[in-house]
Amino acid sequence: MKFISKGGRSFPVTNKKLEAWRADVKLFAEDVMAGRMVYDGCGLSLAFTFCRPKNQYRTGKFSHLLRDDSPDRMLKMPDIDKLVRGILDALTGVVFADDCEVDRVGAVKQWGAREGIDITVRGVFYAARES
């Protein structure tokens, strides 16, 4: 949990959308990993895909076409470092024991037809021990 200080007092900062998003990523990762975890470090490749806002499209019968001044790259919020940090937090304890075990990260924000995240983990995996 993140805290901010105001007037000598600390207050917790929560973002309900972020918490729900992390929970979804963690649930999906648990299903994919099926009890396996990374052994001896790993690298991540992350592709965050966002839908274009309606104001980047033309109107009327050409509403399926992009406007000429629509940006090619996704240079809007959220910040890529915050997206990466959210993924690292969600995958901690599921894919790797601690996010310090990730030694390289490649990330891109892009426009697409459907919002989503493509996560590739490169490393050596081992099966979790039975309790």
Condensed to tens digits (0 to 9), the pLDDT of residues 23-63 reads: 999 999 999 999 899 888 899 999 999 999 999 999 999 99
73-89 pLDDT per residue, tens? 999 999 999 999 999 99
Give the CA radius of gyration of the chain. Answer: 19
pTM beyond 0.95: the answer is no
Q: Which CATH superfamily is domain 11-124 in?
A: Holliday junction resolvase RusA (3.30.1330.70)
Average pLDDT over residues 4-10: 64
pLDDT of residue 40: 86
Domain boundaries, the chain: 11-124
Which residues neighbour 59 within 8 Å (Cβ) at sequence distance 6 or greater?
Answer: none
Kindly provide the residue ranges of all beta strands, DSSP E only, lying in 1-131, ordered along the sequence: 2-6, 9-13, 36-50, 102-111, 116-127
Name the residue among 56, 54, 42, 45 with its Cα closest to residue 117: 45
Distance between CA atoms of residues 16 and 11, nearest Å:
16
- pLDDT of 92 > 80? The answer is yes
